[in-house]
Amino acid sequence: MRETSVEVTPMATKRNPMPDQDAMGRERDYLPALRWKALTPLFDTVVRVTARDRAAKTRLLDQANVASGASVLDLGAGTGTLAIWLKQRCPEARVTALDADPQALSIGRRKAADARCAIEFVEAYSTELPFPPDSVDVVLSSLFFHHLARADKRKTLAEVRRVLKPGGALHVADWGKASDPVMAALFLSVRAFDGFEVTADNARGALPALFEAAGLRDAKERRRMRTALGTLALYSARKPARSG
């Protein structure tokens, strides 16, 4: 059986096991990608059929245009598809896939081993990234932010800004404001499944405003895609370069 080789990168120098409790002693939890752990093995099939997964991730990677040797964080990586495709496209990139779901990461490790891709898989929360400041060139994220409550979106984006290098970029594919009434109607099924509160910012097309509020700049929607579950949007933003 092949094993995935692990790259030791500057991003992982502060890696710690994910804590079972927060600072107040409360138990922490995460929401599996399809809400129930029993459905996690079906995740890849579901997004492939309903969310035009290959087209969306391919366009996101085209948009990011990752440079050779860049350090890249796949945030909310799930089963690692985006990280693997990036590594195959850009073998010299140092790729880290982060998620709070150990079951999804286990699937990702197996997939990376089968693809012979050296990817670092890290179990941690997006609101407490275990990486040093100014250590990441590019943060990628696909269908992750719509799972987060507003407060956790803000905490996550603050962490993204912290770990990005000056001038580093964030590229996101996630649900956006409906492009027409048909897309709005289809997106109701996602909102009912994942929660109307956590998906409200996506439905309003408010992710760029949240990026800007976190101190990122040039936040904008780059393109839209029609899918069986609503409008999927591609976004980008950048951490300001240091003056002088």
Residues 6+ apart with CB under 8 A from 195: none
Whether 12 shows a pLDDT value over 90: the answer reads: no
Q: What is the pLDDT of residue 24?
A: 35
How far is it, in rounded angstroms, from Cα 154 to Cα 96? Answer: 22
Whether 64 shows a pLDDT value over 90: the answer reads: yes
Tell me the whole-structure pTM to 2 decimals: 0.83
CB 59 within 8 A of CB 234: yes
CB-count burial class (<10 Å; 0-12, 13-18, 19+) for 240: middle
Supply the mean pLDDT for the chain: 85
How far is it, in rounded angstroms, from Cα 155 to Cα 161? Answer: 10
The mean pLDDT value for 100-118 works out to 94
CATH class entry, domain 31-238 = alpha beta
**For 78-102, what is each residue's pLDDT tens digit?**
999 999 999 999 999 999 999 999 9
Cα of first residue to Cα of last residue in the chain, in angstroms, is 52
Q: Residue 133: helix, strand or coil by DSSP?
A: coil
Q: What is the pLDDT of residue 52?
A: 73
How far is it, in rounded angstroms, from Cα 128 to Cα 142? Answer: 19
Secondary structure in 3-state letters for 142-180:
ECCHHHCCHHHHHHHHHHHHHHEEEEEEEEEEEECCCCC
25 confidence band (pLDDT: 50, 70, 90): very low
Q: What is the pLDDT of residue 47?
A: 58
Q: What is the pLDDT of residue 161?
A: 98
